[in-house]
Amino acid sequence: MTVHIHLDDVELDYPILSQSSRRLGRQLINVATGGQLDRSEQGRITVRALTDITLRLEVGDRVGLIGHNGSGKSTLLKLLGGIYRPTSGTVSRAGVVGSLLDISLGMSPDATGRENIFLRGALQGMSRSEIARLVPGIIEFSELGDFIELPMRTYSSGMLLRLAFSVATVLSPDILLMDEWLSVGDEAFQSKAEARLHEVVSRTSILVIASHSANLISGQCNRVLYLDHGRLIADGPPAEVLPMYFAAPPEPQ
Amino acid sequence: MTTATLDRQDTPSRIVRLSFFLGWQDVRLMYRRSVLGQFWITLSMAITFLAIGSVFGLIFQSPVVEYLPFLGCGLVFWNFLSLIVNEGAVSFIVGDAFIRQLPLPPIIFFLRSIWKTVFVLLHNAIALILLLLVFSPPPTPAILLVFPAVVLGGAGMAGLALALAVLATRFRDVPQILSALIQVLFYLTPIVWLPQSIPEQARGLILGINPFYHMIQIMRQPLLGQLPTLQEWGIAGALAAVFIALGALVYARNYHRLAFWL
């Protein structure tokens, strides 16, 4: 089956479970959140995070997600990645999903750099033998040298990010999800990382990237989805959609 | 540049392998900076044997060769089953960031906690084997029954823990209630004291309703040179079947909601 993600009439409600949510109720409804707060029949409060989304993402789509904070970009990314399931409507997805959302998640400060490559690699869905095959390349790219045998708590934050980046970008998923562009390390490493990231993006069949940067989206994407209060209000080429948001961004309510 | 190809994440073999690896890492890294490493688990269990064994052996005036093996088996299996419930119940809460970020089935993070308790059991088993070598008569073939018993008891309690894990993710008071309850159950289960010390007419009430008791009975007896009765196997088996069915049902109905509850 060809790689695709199809959403049909998707709605997604978030339950709000904190005790204090009872008291929030009305006051919050029109405050600067994107979602609309609602009470279900049992008196539970839910946030309508996505409303009425119908969408066809096909091979070759380079999709930029734009919208205010809270407009549903992250929720949509998680829905596309299969982390959330819609409250109603259908999602059909073919292809392996990879994400560059939180690239150091799961790394342990007490494990050595090398062990962390295996940990992180396993979480990314790679088999042990596959990771073992890639380890030399990852170590070389990260420029950690002998530090790779030391516990990660001895690393500077730059070293840590270089390692996480080097592991995350050996992936070659069919569908790649990103929240803003990744940029790590000092200047020398940055240009190398930039090239690497472009390779990853070019290998993937569908790219979805949420961003607040018009430059990034016009450079990387051939299609832009504009979300506002959980609704898809525009879907088209960057030249058409970007001005709608960046020229005169509507005030958050 | 070399790249990794990816397969589907949710096949059973992937789930088992990934959770096994993560659970093993948890145990190893917990003791990373100490000299003995994870063998602290073994050593602290051995110290518990000796401390409780010598004091309560005196209190109950039971001969050491009888009391110590009984106590040792009880402590090790209690530790195993109670860890399954305690750690299993919070496994989704602990795996919070993973479940909300990675497109992996949440069950992986439950199984991770179960594997971790299995590794702890294996380390405790070293202390137990040493204890039995010193204090018990040479084993008979009946001892092999301990393996199916451990699998049955562990899987049964894991089924219960899975149902509780879903509940605990939704209602955050559940882990507190559980750990209080389990602490009480430790005293109500014949681990330090012998089952015979409860009057016959009260046994049904005190022991009968305690699932830990039934599971520990089938696990402990083979190591003490006794054969669990058919009735004991039956009760443990039925409990395990009910718990596993309950866990599977509760998980299957709610797994897609876990990401929202975290």
What's the pLDDT tens digit per position in B160-187? Answer: 999 999 999 998 899 999 999 999 999 9
Query: Which residues on chain A are in Cβ contact (under 8 Å) with B259?
Result: 78, 83-84
CATH class of the domain whose range is A4-95+209-246: alpha beta
Contact (CB<8Å) B3/A170? yes
Nearest C-alpha neighbor of A84 from the set B20, B256, B115: B256
Domain A4-95+209-246 identical in fold to domain A100-204: yes
How much of chain B exceeds pLDDT 70, in percent? 97
Alpha-carbon gap: B254 to the closest alpha carbon of chain A (Å) = 11
**pTM to 2 decimals?**
0.88
Contact (CB<8Å) B98/A123? yes
What DSSP designation does B153 have? H
**Whole-number pLDDT of residue A26:** 45
Measured between alpha carbons, how far is B18 from A119 in angstroms, rounded to an integer?
9
Q: How many CB atoms lie within 10 A of CB A197?
A: 20
Residue range B146-155: mean pLDDT, rounded: 97
Q: What is the pLDDT of residues B99-128, one digit of tens each?
A: 998 888 999 999 999 999 999 999 999 999
Helix (H) or strand (E) holding A92: strand A88-94
ipTM: 0.84
Q: What is the pLDDT of residues A145-157, one digit of tens each?
A: 999 999 999 999 8
Query: Which residues on chain A are in Cβ contact (under 8 Å) with B102?
Result: 83, 99, 105, 123
In chain B, whose CA is at the least distance from the CA of A126? B6
Q: Looking at the predicted structure, is the pLDDT value of residue B251 above 50?
A: yes
Nearest C-alpha neighbor of A125 from the set B95, B236, B8, B30: B8
For residue A50, report the phi and psi dihedrals to the nearest 5 degrees. Answer: -135, 135
- Of B34 and A149, the structure prediction assigns the larger pLDDT to A149
Q: Looking at the predicted structure, is the pLDDT value of residue A172 above 90?
A: no
Contact (CB<8Å) A203/B25? no
Alpha-carbon gap: A1 to the closest alpha carbon of chain B (Å) = 14
Residue ranges covered by each domain of chain A:
4-95+209-246, 100-204
Q: Does A109 touch chain B (CB under 8 A)?
A: no
- Strand order through the sheet with A223-228: A97-100, A175-179, A206-210, A62-66, A223-228, A231-236
Q: What is the pLDDT of residues A44-76, one digit of tens each?
A: 678 888 999 999 999 999 999 999 888 899 999
Residue range B239-256: mean pLDDT, rounded: 96
How much of chain B exceeds pLDDT 90, in percent? 69
Helix-then-strand count for chain A, H and E: 8, 10
Nearest C-alpha neighbor of B217 from the set B152, B169, B159, B170: B152
Give the sign of the dihedral formed by CA A16, CA A22, CA A26, CA A31.
negative
Contact B244, B74 (CB under 8 A): no
For residue A91, report the phi and psi dihedrals to the nearest 5 degrees. Answer: -120, 125
Please state which CATH number belongs to domain A100-204: 3.40.50.300
DSSP conformation letters of B66-118: HHHHHHHHHHHHHHHHHHHHHHHHTHHHHTHHHHHHS-S-THHHHHHHHHHHH
**Whole-number pLDDT of residue B120:** 95
Measured between alpha carbons, how far is B82 from A228 in angstroms, rounded to an integer?
49
- Tell me the two tokens of residue A186: 């000092």
Contact (CB<8Å) B260/A119? no
Measured between alpha carbons, how far is A216 from A233 in angstroms, rounded to an integer?
20
Q: Does A92 touch chain B (CB under 8 A)?
A: no
Measured between alpha carbons, how far is B222 from B226 in angstroms, rounded to an integer?
5
Which residue of A83, A84, A119 is in closest CB contact with B25? A119
Alpha-carbon gap: B88 to the closest alpha carbon of chain A (Å) = 19
Residue range B16-20: mean pLDDT, rounded: 93
Residue range A110-125: mean pLDDT, rounded: 92
